Amino acid sequence: MPKSIDSKSNNVIVTTIVKFAYLVKASVRYQKLKGFFYDLLENDQYRYKRWFDIFMIFIILSSVLILVIDVKKTLPDWLEDYDIYFVTSIFITEYLLRMWVYSDVHKMVIRLSEESQYLHQHLSLYRLLGVIIRDKWQYVISPAALVDLIAILPSYRQIRVLRILVLFRAFKMLRYARSLSSFLFILKSKKFELVTLLTLTAFFVFIAGIMLYVFEGDGDNKNITNLFDAFYWALVTISTVGYGDISPVTPEGRVVSMLIIITGVGLIAFMTSIIVSSFSERLVELREDRVMQEVGKKRHVIVICGFGVMGKKVAQGLLDEGSELIIVERDEEIAQQAHNSGYRSICADATKSAVFERIGIAERISQVLCLTSEDEQNAFIAINVKSLNPDVKVTARCSDKEIAEKLHYAGIDDVVIPEEITAMMGVVHAGEPVAFEALRSIVAHKGETHIDEVRVKTGGALENRHVEDLKSKAFRLIILGIVRPDEKGRKMFLFNPDDGTSLHSGDDLVFMGHPTAIAHFKQKVQP
């Protein structure tokens, strides 16, 4: 009878846990909350993580400073309460949150439940809890989690020796100081070389220490009374520090000293070359990681694919307008030139979908400019971007009219043929040079009058408005025309439209005016 009760209790508890797991899976609020804390703790591209890291660094440094003050002075009650209650509460909360976001328990419960149903097996409570505990235990025994746990212990101030563990809180800064973690990552990549070097150094210290102890430990040297003193001298000497508190007095000891100094110089040179070469190998990757972190905090980013003659001109113009942009160039040398010129740039092949997914094609990129020197590559990039996110505006440079036609049919927003534009501008310059100079001055924003545009959005302030409504003195703008797609999707320009012309969703309104008037108009229609 007790077995039957236990079995029923087991089934009830397991069923309750499984139902709760499905409720958690279906809860949008829970997913958003967990996603927020995951981004705050782990996602380097999250815009608010930088402020959280600065806050945690302040907490860590203040707790270490309190330890230093406590050595010579008695802490005020408020400072002791701050250290015991506030700092400790922050660390405990952070530790629990990191354990929470480490894995999704509800997914494990659902997976085990579905596997048991599929195999017609009984799901026991012990198995369910065992899987959950083992998963969380993997986090508890990880090095970073152990540092977090040890950093909490100094809060128990009754045991004074635990206060020295406050220094472990300094190791927590590895989570928040990106440069420190990058340095450790580089050292980790050279683990084999560094371990070999450390083993070699330990061998030389061991041999030199024993030799010195044999030669000078018989009473000739009063500073060497035991084997530990000899090992201490060997380590200080091989590191080329040489405190001078222990010096050999016998000829044999001095020969050992010379040999160990020469060995130390060689080992230090070897270690330096390892670290320098590792930094050189990963310098580009570290720089691009930094770029991605900066871009991750931005919105409405413009991606320029190709940093040739046209790419440089466009990038400079967009930078002058204050646009957020990033250069994607597959040539490493050209990408480095873009970086040296002050642009955010990464060396990558823009034809690969992973590049735009890494930047944030779904939530971050607003426009992509395909400006490489090859038509086929521009076409491939443009179609690739549209397949990833049709809402991103794509402009492609193209010299072949046949390819340009295909791009129009593929739904690319704009296709620019530089040769045609150059020819048209040449004709205008030859026939009407004064008009050409005036137009160039306006387009290049050299005067007080600028040309700008605004998209009519569905449900926006401009939809179904008439042109005459926009010619009021309040706006002080000149309406040049409307760019509207025709039945085939091609854009046509309606120059100087009638006052009764209505604006539709998807239209581009082109106007001219003073920068202040333009800014005021945009604020009114697209706040």
Each residue of 195-241: pLDDT tens digit?
888 888 899 889 988 888 888 877 666 777 788 888 888 888 888 88
Query: What token pair was written down for 13?
Result: 């508890």
Q: State the number of CA atoms in the 13 A half-sphere of 460 facing the CB.
A: 19
Query: What token pair was written down for 103?
Result: 């894995």
**In one letter, which amino acid is 519?**
A
Name the nearest CA neighbour of 521 among 464, 458, 451, 459: 451
Over 50: is that where the pLDDT of 5 sits? no
In the numeric block, the tokens 């001095």 are attached to: 254
Residue 408: which residues within 8 A CB-CB, separation 6 or more? 415, 489, 490
Identify the pLDDT of residue 450: 76
Over 60: is that where the pLDDT of 332 sits? yes
Query: What token pair was written down for 56?
Result: 């945690």
For residue range 386-444, list pLDDT tens digits in order.
Answer: 888 888 888 888 888 888 888 888 888 888 888 777 777 777 777 777 777 777 776 66
pTM for the model stands at 0.55
For residue range 288-326, list pLDDT tens digits in order.
Answer: 777 777 777 677 888 999 898 888 888 888 887 778 888
Bigger pLDDT: 68 vs 238:
238
Q: Which residues of 376-411 are buried (b: 16+ CB within 10 A; e: fewer)?
A: ebbbbbbbbbbeebeebbbbbbbeeeebbeebbeee
State the average pLDDT over residues 326-354: 86
Query: What token pair was written down for 389?
Result: 């996110």
Question: Would you tell me how many other CB atoms lie within 10 Å of the CB of residue 317?
Answer: 12
Q: Which helix (H) or strand (E) holds 256?
A: helix 251-296
d(CA 157, CA 176): 26
Residue 81: which residues within 8 A CB-CB, separation 6 or more? none
Query: For the chain, which residues make up each domain, given as ranges?
Result: 2-176, 189-283, 298-416, 448-525
Which DSSP symbol is given to 463? T
CB 461 within 8 A of CB 525: yes
Please report which confidence band the pLDDT of residue 33 belongs to, taking 50, 70 and 90 as the band edges: very high
Over 50: is that where the pLDDT of 4 sits? no
Identify the pLDDT of residue 2: 46
State the average pLDDT over residues 109-130: 83
Q: Which CATH number fits domain 448-525: 3.30.70.1450, 3.60.20.10, 2.60.120.1440, 1.25.40.10?
A: 3.30.70.1450
Residue 362: which residues within 8 A CB-CB, separation 6 or more? 388, 389
State the average pLDDT over residues 332-354: 85
d(CA 311, CA 295): 19
Superfamily of the domain at 298-416: NAD(P)-binding Rossmann-like Domain (3.40.50.720)
> What's the mean per-residue pLDDT of the chain?
81
CB 302 within 8 A of CB 366: yes
d(CA 12, CA 124): 11
CB 353 within 8 A of CB 388: yes
CATH architecture classification, 189-283: Orthogonal Bundle (1.10)
For residue range 131-178, list pLDDT tens digits in order.
Answer: 888 888 988 888 888 888 877 776 555 555 555 666 666 667 666 666
Residue 450: which residues within 8 A CB-CB, separation 6 or more? 442, 512, 513, 514, 515, 518
